[in-house]
Chain A
Amino acid sequence: MNTSQAESTFSQNDANILEEVMNIAFGKASADLARVVDIRILLTAPRVEFLKADDLLQWIKQDTKTDDTLNMIEQNFWGKYTGSAFLAFPSSASKGLISLFDDDDLSLGAESPLLEKETLLEVGNILIGACVGKVAELLDDNVSFSPPRLVPQVVIDNPSTTAISSKLNDPDKMAIMIKTVFNFEDKDVKGFLFLVAGEESMQWLKAALKNFVAKF
């Protein structure tokens, strides 16, 4: 399935419904994280795009407008809707996340790579779990998750196939890309959440979106 085939299978109206479902899901995810870190998270309206999977990283580069490397948290999910979620932070911004979890009980120093890794994984786990879980709930699906995995220091111009999921480097795979930007108020930390689902989920998703709207 190429991009135009995917777009014809998945209409503009389907994309609009999916954006609204994602809007609700991202809202739930940010509320869950805000409860943990006591900070307000500013959201952008979600955007849906159809891409070839191997164009994804360049798209992220253009969209994030960063020449920095990215720290990415990846979590796979399986249900009728199956795919991968990626939460990406410019590497330089990752340390700012640690201050969100300003916990005196933490015995690790603020400069500890382990603390940075654990913080990224925890933020990713909360945001991805809440977001994908809410999508599944709204669309009457039930998903299971892989543990979150940190893919550090992704160089967008030269992504190593060993460094990042092969899903992003399969030239024939189509992806439904859903993006929102999380901006942590007063912390100057931006994160980008992307959900990538392959074409095998597309027909189910189309029907599920129709059913979602029909509930009202």
Chain B
Amino acid sequence: MSKKLLVVDDSPVSRSIIKKCLPKDQEFELYEASDGRQGLEKFQEVRPDATLLDLTMPVMDGFEALEEIKKIAPDAKVIVLTADIQPKAYEKVMALGAAMVIPKPPSSEALAEGFSKIGLI
């Protein structure tokens, strides 16, 4: 059975890279959003099994989007996928309820490991 995966990232290139890195032996029903506000709306609409969330985005950044997602669904599985690798950014998203952080650019191995860790695959 395919899993619903929401990818929230303002960069079309990053979204493309993420799609290329998804485990090939799994089926995903993919949803995309290009900023935190859109991501939040899409999250409410589709209730994905997991969300890959960028942090540095226009309109609404990933910190705020994560906070809002967790208000809607405290059990939401959110993996933060970001270039912002500062320790304080890591601490903040983990405190907000992220399942884990994967630094950009992602690898197929890192995504598979992340999905496995949150029980998606």
| CB pair A23 B86 closer than 8 Å | no
B90, chain A: closest CB distance, angstroms: 10
The stretch among A28-36, A77-85, A115-123, A143-151 that forms the contact with chain B is A28-36
Query: What is the CB-to-nearest-CB distance from A31 to chain B, in angstroms, rounded to a whole number?
Result: 5
Give a binary string over B13-39; 1 marks a CB under 8 Å from any A CB, 0 the rest.
Answer: 110110011000000000000000000
Scan A1-26; emit 1 where CB is below 8 A from any B CB, else 0.
00000000000010011011001111
Interface string of B55-98 (1 = CB under 8 A from A): 01110000000000000000000000011111111001000000
Q: A23-B83, A31-B86 are in contact. Are A44 and B13 (CB under 8 A)?
A: no
B42 at the interface (CB under 8 A from A): no
Question: How many Å from the CB of A165 to the closest CB on chain B?
Answer: 28
Interface size class of A (residues with CB under 8 A): 20 to 34
Do residues A26 and B89 form an inter-chain contact, with CB atoms below 8 A? Answer: no
Q: Contact: B12 with A43, CB < 8 Å? A: no
With A16-B12, A16-B13, A40-B86 given, is the CB distance from A23 to B57 under 8 Å?
Answer: no
Across the interface, which residues of A come within 8 angstroms of B13, CB to CB? 13, 16-17, 19-20, 213
Choose one: B17, B58, B89; the contact of A45 (CB below 8 Å). Answer: B58
List the 3 closest A-B pairs by CB distance, nearest first: A27-B83, A40-B88, A20-B13
